Structure 1
Amino acid sequence: MHLGYFAMPLHPPGSDPAQTMDEDLEQLAFLDRLGFEEAWIGEHFTAMWENIPCPDLFIAKALGVTQRMKLATGVSCLPNHTPLMLAQRIAQLDQMARGRFYWGVGSGGFPGDFELFGVDPKSGEQRGITRALLDAVLDLWNDPKPGVYETKYWKYIVPEPQADIGLRLHLKPYQKPHPPIGVAGVNANSETLVLGGERGYIPMSINFVPKRLLRTHWDAVEQGAKRSGRVPDRMTWRIARDVHVADTNERARREALEGPLARDYRDYFLRLLPKIRGLDLLKVDPAMPDSDITLEYLLDNIWVVGDPDTVAAKLARLRDDVGGFGALLVIAHEGRPRTSWERSMTLLHDEVLPRLG
């Protein structure tokens, strides 16, 4: 198992964007030095808590403060974009990263962003847009044939090449045929993960999903892989979790309940989820009432919190229960106090990871 980071990121509304982006970069630089292998950066236009609308710009700067870790969009929400512009931006980013880049893609999920870009989530049109736009980007990278490309959602013209003046839609990704593509699943038997399995993309499961649903995520990957004759590798599967480690269980639990982790759930996720998906995602038992979803319940059932032995045991149990996975993506929360966050990440890397073999 290797370690990665998933930064939505999470900062309370009213935070200074310049300051929080600098702090997010400082976190990545620290994790890179520590030995984390990858970091995924979210994209949200109207979510004040998740205040990065342009992860490609953030990643471009993060390339300069990290040395080894791969950086990734987590994810490019494709209904927010047009194929031509996105193909060029991602190709340039991959060139600048010299391959130290993954391209995470998805259909989005934040209600304000759907409204901003005129997408009707109730109809499910975002899924069709996502598949069509992804295929359009891949075609532009592979063989941008001259012509007019027009749908209900976009229009662009690929010009005829003019060799004498060097005119051509020319920029392609650094990695061939394209950067590794990742997709994230949320719901049981996720259609997105079926697509990922069919095409051999990196599958990811978000932090809210309990073990009973995680098992269906790998089932979805296998279902898609079967369609195309692929054999999926569990070591490509990323599972995201909220993790906090301290020297003792008592201290870890106290820091989790008194720090940014609990705040982010209390003030954001437990208010947001009922409006978009409901709290069923967080339930280990579908019959339990919403009122049972407390911070203490999350601490004991969803988050991974404790001393190194406890956290290692919880992660080993998670790995065994779902049949194995390759990477743990730690959800980013503000590193306050900085010493506690750095200690948590250091214990996770230096003491928990070796216990997992």
Structure 2
Amino acid sequence: MTWTADSLKFGAFLAPFHPLNADPALQLRRDIDLMQHLDHLGFDEAWMGEHHSTGAEIVPAPDVFIAAAAERTERIRFGTGVASLPYHHPLVTADRITQLDLQTRGRLIFGTGPGKIPLDAHMMGIDPSDQRRMQGEALEAILALLRGEVVNMETDWFTLRDARAQLPTYNPAGIEIATASTMSPNGSVLAGTHGLSLLSLAASSPSGFEVLDRNWGVYETVCAEHGHVADRSRWRLVNPMFLAESQAEAEKAVSRRIQSMSYYANRQNGRYPDWGQTPQGVIDHWRNDTLGEFGQAIIGTPDQAIAQIERLIEKTGGFGTMLILHVDMANWEDTKRSYELFASEVIPHFKNRNRGREASLQFAEDNRDYLIGGLVGAITKAHTDYYGQPTQAGV
């Protein structure tokens, strides 16, 4: 199937990133409010991550969050972004995911990964060097369980004996499952081996952007080796974005909170760079370099967002879904407005939703003499028929 830009889908990806000086209960409530707002605006997807430490990423159970958000929305699909497989027994994971799939009536995407934050792994006694191996082992077991197989499997960290998932998936074809990828080809290999969707988390970072096409090539090769089809519609890219009517207004909107993102990223590494000391320094650094692994951000206008998405299309040759990395760095009204601008001006650009309207106006312009002449003639005739004498055109 030939890829076209009007097939693009759009969504948001939440870690979530929140400042450490606000009420976490309200922050969670605002994230659910955002899900409702995205659903109302027509976004296709929303993803929620899993993290257990370091303060800023405050959702340890994305399935619990999604269950609540699904009850308050109608059509948007939800992704676990991502479920850290080494942290959970595979049978429990499969059971919770099938339950959530049924509760959402098939609106679930099961995003998987090895786990990101070193402190999470440390607290659970997991060696970070084992996490990708553990992810692969867990994924092998979970996929078999979701296919309805009886699984007997033993590793150095879990055992399955005559294990089976007792609940079905909502869709007989199963649940869409995605694997996270950053810079290394590991995610592409794992996704291609099992025929899963691909989620590129670092698409807009300089190093992540550089390897996008290369990692897709790895994915295509591994898919072919294992009898799967590499479908670009199942490839998702993540990019930080915040929009306003002008670049100056966007910078003003994020200036009070954006340093919290820098503080979170730099403090984990014990770094306190000069650029992190002012809001403008953080804005400029995030635009022109990168803030951790999160990529280069668009903090500006819809036109700038369009240009960045077109850049990603050119680099990749086409992908399925653009996910906005959401950061809690503006007040609620400005946050809602950012997504409204994206929905009203960016999405229609790629969906070609105004093609017919533009064509209609163009036809009117191209045929103005004939059309206006006909209108003037009709008005003149109507006046003559009534009064018995012509009148000036347009009266």
Q: TM-score range by the shorter chain?
A: 0.7 to 0.9
Q: Which amino acid aligns with 1:224?
A: V
Q: Against the structure 1 CA distance between its residues 155 and 194, is the aligned structure 2 distance closer, same or farther, given a 3 Å change threshold?
A: closer
> 3-state SS of the aligned residue for 2:17?
coil
Q: What is the Cα deviation at residue 15 of structure 1?
A: 3.7
Q: Which amino acid aligns with 2:323?
A: L
Out of 299, 311, 321, the residue aligned to residue 287 of structure 2 is 299
* 1:173 corresponds to: 169
Q: Against the structure 1 CA distance between its residues 21 and 100, is the aligned structure 2 distance closer, same or farther, given a 3 Å change threshold?
A: same
Worse-superposed segment, 246-255 or 101-110 = 246-255
Q: How many pairs were matched up?
A: 327
* 1:282 corresponds to: none
Q: What is the Cα deviation at residue 14 of structure 1?
A: 5.1
Q: Which amino acid aligns with 1:201?
A: L
Q: Against the structure 1 CA distance between its residues 44 and 263, is the aligned structure 2 distance closer, same or farther, given a 3 Å change threshold?
A: same
* 2:92 corresponds to: 85
Larger radius of gyration: 2
Can you list the C-alpha shifts for 1:163-214, whole angstroms capped at 9, x where unaligned?
xxxxx862232233431001111123x2112221232211111146332132
Q: Against the structure 1 CA distance between its residues 233 and 57, is the aligned structure 2 distance closer, same or farther, given a 3 Å change threshold?
A: same
* 2:200 corresponds to: 205
Q: What is the Cα deviation at residue 41 of structure 1?
A: 0.7
Q: In percent, how many aligned pairs have the same letter?
A: 32
Kindly indicate whether the alpha-carbon contact (under 8 Å) linking 2:50 and 2:81 is maintained by their aligned counterparts in 1. yes
Q: What TM-score comes out, normalization by structure 1 length?
A: 0.84
Measured in 1, the distance between the counterparts of 2:329 and 2:248 equals 19
* 2:341 corresponds to: 347
> 3-state SS of the aligned residue for 2:318?
coil
Q: Against the structure 1 CA distance between its residues 107 and 25, is the aligned structure 2 distance closer, same or farther, given a 3 Å change threshold?
A: same
* 2:140 corresponds to: 135
Measured in 2, the distance between the counterparts of 1:142 and 1:312 equals 40
> 3-state SS of the aligned residue for 1:332?
strand
Q: What is the Cα deviation at residue 149 of structure 1?
A: 4.5
Kindly indicate whether the alpha-carbon contact (under 8 Å) linking 1:184 and 1:192 is maintained by their aligned counterparts in 2. yes
Measured in 2, the distance between the counterparts of 1:247 and 1:12 equals 25
* 2:154 corresponds to: 150
* 2:9 corresponds to: 2
Measured in 1, the distance between the counterparts of 2:288 and 2:303 equals 15
Kindly indicate whether the alpha-carbon contact (under 8 Å) linking 2:80 and 2:109 is maintained by their aligned counterparts in 1. yes
Q: Against the structure 1 CA distance between its residues 185 and 348, is the aligned structure 2 distance closer, same or farther, given a 3 Å change threshold?
A: same
> 3-state SS of the aligned residue for 1:30?
helix
* 1:332 corresponds to: 326
Measured in 1, the distance between the counterparts of 2:247 and 2:187 equals 37
Measured in 2, the distance between the counterparts of 1:339 and 1:242 equals 18
Q: Which amino acid aligns with 1:92?
A: Q
Q: Against the structure 1 CA distance between its residues 209 and 201, is the aligned structure 2 distance closer, same or farther, given a 3 Å change threshold?
A: farther
Out of 109, 114, 119, the residue aligned to residue 126 of structure 2 is 119
* 1:219 corresponds to: 217
Measured in 2, the distance between the counterparts of 1:224 and 1:264 equals 40
* 1:71 corresponds to: 78
Measured in 1, the distance between the counterparts of 2:329 and 2:112 equals 27
Kindly indicate whether the alpha-carbon contact (under 8 Å) linking 2:176 and 2:197 is maintained by their aligned counterparts in 1. yes
Q: What is the Cα deviation at residue 3 of structure 1?
A: 1.0
Kindly indicate whether the alpha-carbon contact (under 8 Å) linking 1:72 and 1:104 is maintained by their aligned counterparts in 2. yes
Kindly indicate whether the alpha-carbon contact (under 8 Å) linking 2:148 and 2:165 is maintained by their aligned counterparts in 1. no
Measured in 2, the distance between the counterparts of 1:351 and 1:101 equals 27
Measured in 1, the distance between the counterparts of 2:87 and 2:140 equals 15
- The answer to whether 1:243 aligns with 2:237 is no
Out of 91, 108, 115, the residue aligned to residue 101 of structure 1 is 108
Can you list the C-alpha shifts for 1:95-125, whole angstroms capped at 9, x where unaligned?
111101100011111101111222111xx32
> 3-state SS of the aligned residue for 2:46?
strand
Q: What is the Cα deviation at residue 234 of structure 1?
A: 2.0
Q: Which amino acid aligns with 2:143?
A: L
| Structure 2: gaps of 5 or more residues | 1-7, 274-280, 290-295, 352-395
> 3-state SS of the aligned residue for 2:53?
coil
Q: Against the structure 1 CA distance between its residues 42 and 235, is the aligned structure 2 distance closer, same or farther, given a 3 Å change threshold?
A: same
- The answer to whether 1:192 aligns with 2:187 is yes
| Structure 1: gaps of 5 or more residues | 160-167, 280-292
